[in-house]
Amino acid sequence: MPENVLITGAGRGLGLELARLCSGRGDHVVATVRDTASVAELAALPGVTLATLDLSKSDSVSGAIAELAERAGGMDLVINNAAVNFRGVDHGNGTLSVQTMSADPMLDLFRVNVVGPLLVVRGALPHLAASGHGCVVNVSSWLASVSGFAPGAAANYGYRTTKAALVMATRALAAEVGPMGVTAIAVNPGWMRTEMGGERAELDPADSAAGILDVAARLTPTDGGRFIDWDGTDHPY
């Protein structure tokens, strides 16, 4: 049965592939981007409604999402894919080392990568609860794993800590919205060949997207709060 799906950060990479697959299976997709001027490929997909959303503008996020969900006639699945790394905030290089760190770039990353997804859920929650099988998929990262941290890897404080915080926020969210009939999980999409992941990455975003949608389709209420790899296996916290 076609569903109403909201995908943030849908203009390229993983978000675009998620939108493409949802469109292909007949879903009505509300696809948000920061700038609609350069997303012709996304705009051409059948069943896709484009909308502008900037997660750094916290005061407007929930209201915008509530309006989009209302216009869509409901919401069954929210995929919080939009995120930024150090390149996406002013003076972001300062989040890569404690020796050069300043507060504002770190806080800007938290605003987009952690607070933003929660505000998206806030706006969509009444419709997710009314769906009868509402799901939230928060896209985290393999870099979020505390137990799997590689000491020799780049520190990358802002991105790592925000993606780890998103996993914990998802667990808290699952505890709150589970009784409303909404299942919330975090997923690790893998190291993908995207603008953020680079060309050396191992995984095609189309494969990750297909895996994530398969995971979402198989969710049951007992899965709330899990951190799941794109291929369906559990990822270590």
Compute the distance between CA of residue 156 and CA of residue 97 in angstroms, rounded to an integer: 7
- Whether the predicted pLDDT of 213 surpasses 60: yes
Reported as half-sphere exposure (CB side, CA atoms, 13 A), residue 29 has a value of 30
Spot the catalytic one: 92, 131, 137, 159. Answer: 159
In three-state secondary structure terms, 134 is coil
Q: Is 159 a catalytic residue?
A: yes
The number of residues making up the chain comes to 237
Domain count, the chain: 1
How confident is the model over 33-80, as pLDDT tens digits?
999 888 999 999 999 999 999 999 999 999 999 999 999 999 999 999
Specify if 235 maps to a domain: no
Per the structure, the complete domain to which residue 179 belongs is given by: 4-229
Of 1-5, 152-156, 176-180, minimum mean pLDDT range: 152-156
pLDDT tens digits for 6-25? 999 999 999 999 999 999 99
* Greater model confidence, 198 or 227: 227
Domain assignment present for 236: no
Q: Environment class of residue 190 by beta-carbon count within 10 Å: exposed (0-12), middle (13-18) or buried (19+)?
A: buried
Nearest to 159 by CA among 220, 85, 98: 85
The helix (run of H) or strand (run of E) holding residue 169 is: helix 157-177
**Nearest to 187, CA basis, from 211, 218, 155, 156:** 211
Q: What is the DSSP letter of 56?
A: T
Check residue 94 and report its DSSP letter: G
- 92-150 pLDDT, tens per residue? 999 999 999 999 999 999 999 999 999 999 999 999 999 999 999 999 998 888 887 76
Residue 132 contacts residue 181 (beta carbons within 8 Å): yes
Q: Would 84 be classed as within a structural domain? A: yes
Any idea what the CATH number is for the domain that residue 39 is in?
Answer: 3.40.50.720
